């Protein structure tokens, strides 16, 4: 019985956590990497729309195939695939809206606050559900996200400096 409950919890968390986490980190990396280029806002919004659709479909298919290889019931596989896609799309749209509405300097700050807060909340909830140290899980996941964001920022600045974009 406990194994069944844990499996249901794992499936429920997977449906939302993977899509949300991927959307948060990918969108923040894109914003930080391209924010200083010429026509940054148009390029960022275009990139985020592509991520929200094409990369999202790719990740959703990846989740689908992975769960099929785990011999999960077809209903669970399709539900996870759809939920992952929808979650990632909706989270991406929250970033797109902020970049579209706010001046770029403000959008950078609001998206960082929103994205890191959402990632911290997801990390906290998963750790709490698993009986782990919630704050360590948050630090671990936020640390990884910050490394990705910093690397994207570095690459973006390097490209703009070297190629005068």
Q: What is the DSSP string of 49-111?
A: HHIIIIIHHHHHHHHHHHHHHTT--HHHHHHHHHHHHHHHHHHHHHHHHHHHHS-HHHHHHHH
pTM comes to 0.84
Question: What percentage of the chain carries pLDDT values higher than 70?
Answer: 89
- pLDDT tens readout for residues 69-117: 988 888 988 988 899 899 999 999 999 999 999 999 999 999 999 999 9
Residue 39 has pLDDT above 50, yes or no: yes
**Spans of all domains in the chain:** 17-156
Main-chain dihedrals φ then ψ at residue 95, nearest 5 degrees: -75, -45
Q: Is a pLDDT exceeding 50 seen at residue 147?
A: yes
């Amino acid at each position: 019985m406990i194994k069944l409950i844990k499996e249901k919890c794992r499936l429920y968390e997977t449906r939302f956590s993977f899509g949300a986490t991927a959307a948060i980190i990918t969108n923040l990396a894109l914003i930080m990497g391209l924010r200083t280029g010429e026509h940054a806002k148009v390029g960022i919004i275009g990139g985020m729309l592509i991520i929200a659709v094409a990369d999202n479909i790719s990740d959703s298919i990846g989740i689908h195939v992975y769960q099929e290889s785990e011999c999960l019931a077809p209903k669970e596989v399709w539900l996870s695939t759809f939920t992952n896609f929808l979650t990632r799309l909706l989270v991406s749209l929250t970033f797109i809206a902020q970049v579209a509405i706010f001046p770029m300097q403000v959008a950078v700050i609001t998206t960082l606050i929103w994205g890191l807060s959402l990632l911290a909340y997801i990390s906290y909830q998963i750790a709490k559900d698993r009986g782990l140290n919630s704050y360590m899980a948050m630090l671990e996941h936020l640390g990884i996200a910050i490394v990705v964001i910093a690397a994207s920022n570095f690459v973006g600045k390097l490209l703009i400096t070297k190629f005068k974009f």
